[in-house]
Structure 1
Amino acid sequence: MLLSLQQLKVMSAIEHCRTAALGGHVEACADCGQRRIAYNSCRNRHCPKCQGAAARTWLAEREADLLPVGYFHVVFTLPAEVAVIAFHNKTLVYELLFKAASETMLTIAADPKHLGARIGITAVLHTWGSAMTHHPHVHMIVPGGGIAPDGSRWISSRPAFLLPVRVLGKLFRRLFLTRLDALHDAGRLSFFGSMAHLGDRRAFLRHLSPVRKKRWVVYAKAPFAEPEAVLAYLSRYTHRVAISNSRLIAFDKNSVTFRYKDYRRDGANRQQVMVLAIDEFVRRLQPTSQGDQAI
């Protein structure tokens, strides 16, 4: 498996985190003389052992932004046909995903037929699913209301309804595909291997033809009860890595066994166990080392 220089740096940091390779310091008790060696952390943002403190710091800084209102959880997901394009053009397409999703929310919320207000958004980009497969999507935390266009008052949404998801999906699809077409037309997209044929304009348009007609699903969850619950929920998404140590069940020189959630199932059946060969586990881990983002 060929890794980029950046991916090699990430893997090296994770491998050497809290080991003698990074040095450390000695802690000693002045009374009993007991000594303990504490090895240094790598502080790499992709390391599952180093993100707890960073997440707590990030969330503490966000506390001042919370309002005493209910909050909604909204998710924008790219269809599989578009996700494969994102895999080859991560920086451009992830940025486009952020912009199209946020513009969709702001536009529909400002429409007098819906909320008629200027809203605020906290958005987190995830590029992977629970099974560590490429699955780019944006999680948003949105207050249940916004400021009137003239700034004179607060306009509240309905208690369990923010914006119509079908309307959001249609605008998101149009904004995203229009700008994706423009990127391809400008020659800014690159394709490799089995997807190299998408560099051809006609092949690219044929590939996207089905997604222009299908429904792009936008998920919206009922509001949280208290702002504190928003922070508790968001803490599971900010500074999150592809897989935490707590999900690992077993590993040896041949395979890795871990827990994941299958969102096609309900209840207790959602929790599943997967066994991957070492090479496949590392392959799935690598695409996540491209830098998920939060705004």
Structure 2
Amino acid sequence: MPRPALELADILRAHGETFRRAHAGHLSLGQLKVMSAIEACRTAALGGHVARCDDCRHLAVSYNSCRNRHCPKCQGAAARAWLAERQADLLPVPYFHVVFTLPAPLAAIAFHNKAVVYDLLFKAAAEALQTIAADPRHLGARIGLVAVLHTWGSALTHHPHVHCIVPGGGLCPDGERWIACRPGFFLPVRVLSRLFRRLFLEKLAAAHVQGRLGFFGELSHLAEPQAFAAHLAPLRRAEWVVYAKPPFGGPAAVLAYLARYTHRTAIANSRLVDMDDHAVRFRWKDYRAADPATGAVKLKTMSLTPDEFLRRFLLHVLPAGFHRIRHYGLLAKGPRAIDLDRLRALIAAQAGDAASDLEPAEAEPETTTLPACPCCGGRMRIIEIFGRGHTPRTAAGLPLWFDTS
């Protein structure tokens, strides 16, 4: 894959040190680590290896990746590895996509309390889905789901929301039968929204009572119980955004969708347009200007100062050890996990021959970790590995091809 004309790493290398000096004492250790990792990604600072073509003897140097989960260059390989593991988890049923979004007045609280509030967002969304699904008036079944946290909007603003990928059905209360949802419909969105709102606010208020929330600057007054209660009062009456998209076409479509969402970073290198000393320009989707008739979203170009661009990007650095992909219910992992083969048998028994209409996704063919030779397409073999900060000794003085893609 060719290297994009502009990468996030280029912006950090050009403006990162100035940003660090300007914000000294105001950047977390996690943010500083993310900046350093992306700056060093695919450079000699991380070491690498030399490969040689078996056919034409062409030599190529590849530097190591930083593997940081906030690095847009590294997440492609991570997503492929994760999806290979999820291949065995897919069920032969339609899948639905439900999005739970925190209202804007809670975003600032979430930013200063990421580990606590993002965790509550996960729990409230999962509990709302499982509770409504278990209600006999709706589905009356135990369901499973995969939830993925995103904290950004298209313009890199702080916009915490959780994407939930949910199989269209679940186990009946006695666990002996699969209950399928109605074709094209999973659960009522308004009912989900109301329960999600109540659950999240209850959990947030409990966290406040337990002293688990911190408030700083303009929000420092919210440390007082009365002020905090007054801040939440309008949110108890407001409509919260819960959005359910149409079901996927089948397991293959689910995998393709997960590939785009599970390991997405705040901004992809493909969205970057250009930069100079005064501005960074990138593409973004203006959802407010969407065509009311077709729903088409306008693609625009935004220009920010390098300082503001990096500030917005670093808003989305997650706490160390925080899991942004979680599994619940029937899809939960661990020693008490449900036998998925048994679920498939129950689904087949419930659906009869209809289940065969949803063919399992085909596994992608295995590929080598090394690219084909750029000269002749032959097989490349590693002949030297060099450490951090070192340069390759192989064929010193000979022309080498450096792969930084």
Letter in 2 for 1:106: Q
SS of the residue corresponding to residue 144 of structure 2 reads coil
- Secondary structure at the aligned position of 2:105 is classed as helix
- Give the equivalent residue in structure 1 for 2:46: 22
Deviation at 1:217, TM superposition (A): 2.0
Alignment partner, residue 274 of structure 1: 302
Letter in 1 for 2:299: Q
Distance 1:41 1:152, change over 3 A: same
In structure 2, list runs of 5 or more residues that go unmatched: 1-22, 327-405
Of 254, 258, 265, which residue of structure 2 is paired with 1:241? Answer: 265
Please say if 1:104 is aligned against 2:128: yes
Question: In structure 1, how many angstroms separate the alpha carbons of the residues matched to 2:41 and 2:86?
Answer: 28
How much does 1:256 deviate? 0.8
Mapped pair 1:209 → 2:240:
no
Q: Which amino acid aligns with 2:324?
A: Q
Task: Give, in whole Å, the separation in 1 of the partners of 2:65 and 2:86.
Answer: 25
- The Cα of 1:28 is off from its aligned counterpart by 2.5
Alignment partner of 1:136 out of 156, 160, 166: 160
The answer to whether the aligner puts 1:222 opposite 2:246 as a matched pair is yes
Q: Distance in 2 between matches of 1:61 and 1:30?
A: 32
How far residue 290 of structure 1 moved from its aligned partner, in angstroms, is: 1.1
1:187 to 205, 211, 223: 211
CA distance in 2, matches of 1:61, 1:276: 39
Alpha-carbon offset, residue 29 of structure 1: 3.2
Select which of 324, 342, 356 maps to 1:293.
Answer: 324
- Offset of 1:239 from its aligned partner? 1.2
Three-state SS of the structure 1 residue aligned to 2:313 is: helix
**Contact 1:25 / 1:39 at 8 angstroms: preserved in 2?**
yes
1:30 deviates by: 4.8
SS at match of 2:86: helix
Q: Is structure 2 residue 287 aligned with structure 1 residue 256?
A: no
Q: Secondary structure at the match of 1:209?
A: helix
Residue 158 (structure 1) aligned to one of 172, 182, 186: 182
1-structure distance, mates of 2:180, 2:50: 55
Instruction: Check if 1:172 corresponds to 2:196.
Output: yes
Q: Residue type matched to 2:96 in 1?
A: F
Instruction: Compute the RMSD of aligned alpha carbons.
Output: 1.3
| Structure 1 position 269, deviation (Å) | 4.4
Is residue 117–residue 146 contact of structure 1 (8 Å, CA) maintained in 2? yes
Distance 1:81 1:140 in 2: 22
- In 2, Cα distance between equivalents of 1:59 and 1:32: 35
Whether the aligned pair in 1 keeps the contact of 2:151 and 2:316 (CA below 8 Å) is yes
CA contact (8 A) 1:166 1:217 kept: no
SS of the residue 2:147 aligns to: strand
Would the aligned equivalents of 2:48 and 2:64 in 1 still touch at CA under 8 Å?
Answer: yes
Deviation at 1:35, TM superposition (A): 1.9
For residues 118-168 of structure 1, give each alpha carbon's deviation from its aligned partner in whole angstroms, at most 9, with x where no partner exists.
Answer: 111011011111111111110001111111111121111111111111111
Larger radius of gyration: 2
Residues 287 and 297, structure 2, Cα contact 8 Å, conserved in 1:
no
Give the Å deviation of 1:241. Answer: 0.7
**Which AA in structure 1 matches 2:104?**
A
- Unaligned ranges ≥5, structure 1: none
Q: Distance in 2 between matches of 1:91 and 1:213?
A: 26
Number of aligned residue pairs: give it: 295
1:216 Cα offset (Å) = 1.3
2:316 alignment partner, SS class = helix
Contact 2:99 2:243 in 1 (8 A): yes
Q: TM-score, normalised by structure 2?
A: 0.71
Q: Which residue of 1 aligns with 2:311?
A: 283
SS in 2 for 1:161: coil
**Equivalent position amino acid for 2:164 in 1:** M
1:123 aligns with 2:147: yes
- Secondary structure of 1:121's counterpart equals strand
Percent of paired sites with the same residue: 67
Contact 1:165 1:217 in 2 (8 A): no
Q: Are positions 1:74 and 2:98 aligned together? A: yes
> 1:113 maps to which residue?
137
Q: Secondary structure at the match of 1:206?
A: helix
The aligned amino acid for 1:248 is L
TM-score normalised by structure 1 residue count: 0.96
Runs of 4+ off more than 4 Å: none
**Larger relative contact order (Cα-Cα within 8 Å, sequence gap ≥ 6):** 2
Instruction: For residues 191-216 of structure 1, give each alpha carbon's deviation from its aligned partner in whole angstroms, at most 9, with x where no partner exists.
Output: 11111111111111111111110111
CA distance in 1, matches of 2:72, 2:63: 16
Cα distance in 1 for residues equivalent to 2:66 and 2:309: 21
